[in-house]
Structure 1
Amino acid sequence: MFRPVKRKITLTIIGTSLMLPMGIASAQTAPADVEALQAQMQALQSQIDELKSQQSSTEEEVATVSDNVVTRTPKGDLQIGETTLSIGGYVKAQATVANNGFSDGKASEIVSAGSLRNVDEDLGSRTSFSARQSRLNVGTATPLAGDTLKTFVEMDFYGADGEANEFVSNSYAPRLRHAYGSWGNWLAGQTWSTFMDLNGLGEVDAFGQHASVIFVRQAQLRYTRPFEGGNLQFALENPEDGGDDQSVPDIVGRVNFDGDWGHVSVAALARRLEVDNGVDDDSEWEDAYSVTARLPTVGQDDLRLQANYGNLGRYMGLRSYPDAQVGEGNIDGVDSWGASAIYRHYWTDELRSSLAYSRTGLVDTGAGDMTDSYDTAFVNLMWSPMANTTYGIEYQRFDLEEVDGDAFDLDRVHVSAQYSF
């Protein structure tokens, strides 16, 4: 970058050196010329000093940019000025062998009460491979007004089934999972519902698919108030009952307790269900409750428990139960219940297993093809031989029974390889 400057300095010094003997020789007969030559050398030295100063300043500026503007944090994130930029996610390859096929021709990687109704025993077994659960996320953290402004965006590839195929490219579209910002006690954007506790999920490859799980991501405004040993959370969240009729946000409150003894959380949900379709015009307030716990047991083992009750609708089990029934101009919320237990045992530091059972049931009187009961069972073996690497094999069982007596079941063996970054 500075070679032209150096070359100019070098040529000037060489030229001066060549001219110096001639000047000295001339000085024997012309003293005035010696004084002129000395003046020229002083001027030249001033130019050299100035160029060196400019070069040193430029090098210091480059060093400042390198050291203070773009650096790496101890965790490996990028520090750009005052903003920390983190990039994460994982690549996950999955293979599934199911005992039954699906009448819609899909492998139904994510099993729900809805997809179970497409199971057709006459179609025989189905094998499928996929990498769609792979994720990519970007987060930032910037000091702002005495606190930290954080943002987070994440996507996977479960979007737009109708636009993809498995014939040639398997070109599945990205899907928004999270997009939110937080500052201080406030959070705004799309992320896990405040009615959901991640501690209730457990380490199962059928992520978010056990029957009683509270599993919802949606846009919201949340306030969190910490206290010693936990925090309180209040949120207004996107309302939805399948008919897009709700005019009042879903209201959620949660209290979390944490300590060396483990974690316990209690949440309450209030919803205003509405119908206004030109024929029926009615509304009704409904409520639901959830309790979760994560309790250490022996060594690294832990037990995770969850119990839910009330107008759970789309919040529980990937919408196993409807939010409401509409008839004769009235809307009535549908109540259900769910419970689960997940025990994780460490065989070694790298090898562990989880055993999970979950069951749900209908509280109100239903009819026809409404879900009457839904239960799931999983057992797995997870191996993490290196950092950021996990291999797993899991047996999965799904059972669904409708009010009219129809029943659907599915057995699967699921194998996965996950590489995080």
Structure 2
Amino acid sequence: MKTMMIKPLVIAVGLTMSVMANAQSSQEVEQLRQEVQQLKALVHQYAQQNQTVQANLNQLANTAVQPPVAQKASTEKRGLGMTLGNAEFNLYGNVRMDGSYQVEGSSRDLPYNHINAVALEGNNESSDRLRSTLSATRLGLDFKSPVGDQDVKGKIEVDFLGGSNFDNLRIRHAYLNYGNWLIGQTWSNFAVPDYMPETVDALAYAGGAVKRTPQVRYTAKFSPQTNLVVAAEDPKDNSITQRLPALTARLNHQFADNMSVSARAMGHEKRINSDEEMAWGVGLGAKYDVTPSTTLKADYYHVKGDSSFVSFANKGVAVTNLDDKGVITATSAIAAQSEFDSITVGLTQKFNEKLRGTLGYGYMKFDDDQDYINALSNKSAANKDLWQAWANIFYSPRKPLSFGLEYVYGERKAYGPVLDEDDQPVSGRTGEDNRINMVAIYNF
């Protein structure tokens, strides 16, 4: 561009010198002066064009050296979010259809686990039956609102597994969380589902616990890896009266990025009239990521005198002096307490983003306390041991959709056979659970 500017100047100077040397008349000089003025205007025009071009080159150079702006990763949030005033809400849920084909098992008209009461061999057995329901369909609302320098958080979640027929609306979760405190109903602090292997069955299997209780809970954080949670809970034990809440404690620790453990304890007074006994229990759960796509889970319980926390347990206490309908009277008393050990263990393999599967096993062993057994009016209703094994696979072709297929086989062994009116056995002591479970879920 500098060359383009100098060239007109040289031409102009040359012409001027030529005019001075060869001018013959004033008319010619005036004409030459006009030409010089035109050349000056041309030079000025070239100068302006040069400035514009230089500015464009500088802009291109600056754009070239700037790094590309990184695009943020997609953070797709489940549900429908909204803000009203200072409060944030997120509506979520699913439509869930469960089904099962029962080869052998209970006459119960639901496709969910009932291992503690499946029919004993030779008595009201039910086979080759197809069952389905949408009762496990859920609807939930998470919310958050600032109060002072912290947020009050909460959840309301319902499904349709309430009532005696499991087809009524019921509360699953309803609580408020402020700082380290939680008030409301959510998973029990003692019977947590975190360490149970995954199942298609919405009620889990022998040795597992899916208990939600009204509670007041406090969490003390010792470090980012360790915390202690204590709670006063209402276990909703319908088999006995109570005057005090159950006290529970849970110590959680993260050993590494791929391993976590939980140690738990529970104490609860059982009371009939003036007769009192203390129920108690301990639990230990662990989760270990063997590889990023392989997870091992295990959970253990030892419980005495309680049937409200761990699923499928015998009644926590045997009661004497009941009336003809088995109702507690003014002279009723606690005869003995049930005691049991339970364990679940399972391995989950994630094959890819769409496919995963689990192999699991659950076992419950009840003590042979003769005082407890003798106090039972129906010994076939109480179990000596329970076990179940299962294998499942989940397939998610697209993110909102998930399909599951599972085979489960289990057995129960009762303390006694089913007796007729003359106390003669009409069946054995063993019952069988043999099913294929299916589920289809649409999450939103």
Normalised-by-shorter TM-score class:
0.7 to 0.9
Q: Which residue of 2 aligns with 1:272?
A: 269
Tell me the alpha carbon deviations over residues 53-74 of structure 1, each in whole angstroms, 9 at most, x when there is no partner.
Answer: xxxxxxxxxxxxxxxxxxxx97
> Where in structure 2 are there 5+ consecutive unaligned residues?
1-74, 322-332, 374-378, 418-428
Tell me which moved more, 289-298 or 144-153: 144-153
Contact 1:335 1:363 in 2 (8 A): yes
Aligned Cα RMSD in Å? 2.2
- Counting only pairs closer than 5 Å after superposition, residues 239-254 of structure 1 correspond to structure 2 as 239-254=235-250
User: CA offset at residue 148 of structure 1?
Assistant: 1.1
Asked if 1:417 is matched to 2:417, the reply is: no
Asked if 1:300 is matched to 2:268, the reply is: no
In structure 2, how many angstroms separate the alpha carbons of the residues matched to 1:115 and 1:89?
31
Contact 2:105 2:433 in 1 (8 A): no
Q: Which residue of 1 aligns with 2:403?
A: 391
Contact 1:395 1:413 in 2 (8 A): yes
Report the residue type matching 1:420 in the other structure.
Answer: N
Tell me the alpha carbon deviations over residues 126-185 of structure 1, each in whole angstroms, 9 at most, x when there is no partner.
Answer: 1012211110001210111211111211111112355x9xxxxxxx32111111111111
- Counting only pairs closer than 5 Å after superposition, residues 3-402 of structure 1 correspond to structure 2 as 75=77, 77-100=81-104, 102-103=106-107, 106-117=108-119, 123-162=126-165, 172-228=167-223, 229-258=225-254, 259-276=256-273, 281-311=274-304, 313-315=306-308, 317-327=310-320, 329-365=333-369, 366-367=372-373, 368-369=379-380, 370-402=382-414
In structure 2, how many angstroms separate the alpha carbons of the residues matched to 1:410 and 1:113?
7
Contact 1:346 1:353 in 2 (8 A): yes
How many aligned positions are there?
335
User: CA offset at residue 286 of structure 1?
Assistant: 2.4
Q: Secondary structure at the match of 1:393?
A: strand
In structure 2, how many angstroms separate the alpha carbons of the residues matched to 1:74 and 1:383?
20
Q: Secondary structure at the match of 2:208?
A: coil
Q: Residue 357 and residue 316 in structure 1: after superposition, are their counterparts in 2 closer, same or farther (change >3 A)?
A: farther
In structure 2, how many angstroms separate the alpha carbons of the residues matched to 1:334 and 1:373?
12
In structure 2, how many angstroms separate the alpha carbons of the residues matched to 1:179 and 1:241?
20
Q: Residue 316 and residue 179 in structure 1: after superposition, are their counterparts in 2 closer, same or farther (change >3 A)?
A: closer
User: CA offset at residue 363 of structure 1?
Assistant: 2.2
> Where in structure 1 are there 5+ consecutive unaligned residues?
1-72, 165-171
What TM-score do you get using the length of structure 2 for normalisation? 0.71
Q: Residue 296 and residue 149 in structure 1: after superposition, are their counterparts in 2 closer, same or farther (change >3 A)?
A: same
Contact 1:212 1:316 in 2 (8 A): no
Q: Secondary structure at the match of 2:207?
A: coil
Report the residue type matching 2:111 in the other structure.
Answer: E
User: CA offset at residue 122 of structure 1?
Assistant: 5.1
Contact 1:214 1:315 in 2 (8 A): no
Report the residue type matching 1:198 in the other structure.
Answer: P
Contact 1:107 1:126 in 2 (8 A): no
Contact 1:263 1:293 in 2 (8 A): yes
In structure 2, how many angstroms separate the alpha carbons of the residues matched to 1:237 and 1:123?
38
Tell me the alpha carbon deviations over residues 274-295 of structure 1, each in whole angstroms, 9 at most, x when there is no partner.
Answer: 111xxxx310122100000110
Q: Larger relative CO (CA 8 A, sep 6+): 1 or 2?
A: 2
In structure 1, how many angstroms separate the alpha carbons of the residues matched to 2:245 and 2:126?
43
In structure 2, how many angstroms separate the alpha carbons of the residues matched to 1:209 and 1:151?
26
Contact 1:112 1:318 in 2 (8 A): no
Contact 1:89 1:136 in 2 (8 A): yes
Tell me which moved more, 115-124 or 324-333: 115-124
Structure of greater Rg: 2
User: CA offset at residue 239 of structure 1?
Assistant: 4.2
User: CA offset at residue 247 of structure 1?
Assistant: 0.7
What TM-score do you get using the length of structure 1 for normalisation? 0.74
Q: Residue 251 and residue 122 in structure 1: after superposition, are their counterparts in 2 closer, same or farther (change >3 A)?
A: closer
Report the residue type matching 2:393 in the other structure.
Answer: L
Between the two proteins, what is the percent identity of the paired residues? 22
Q: Residue 271 and residue 81 in structure 1: after superposition, are their counterparts in 2 closer, same or farther (change >3 A)?
A: same
Q: Residue 310 and residue 129 in structure 1: after superposition, are their counterparts in 2 closer, same or farther (change >3 A)?
A: closer
Q: Secondary structure at the match of 1:99?
A: strand
Q: Residue 373 and residue 122 in structure 1: after superposition, are their counterparts in 2 closer, same or farther (change >3 A)?
A: closer
User: CA offset at residue 216 of structure 1?
Assistant: 1.1
Q: Residue 332 and residue 148 in structure 1: after superposition, are their counterparts in 2 closer, same or farther (change >3 A)?
A: farther
Q: Residue 210 and residue 316 in structure 1: after superposition, are their counterparts in 2 closer, same or farther (change >3 A)?
A: farther
Report the residue type matching 2:86 in the other structure.
Answer: E
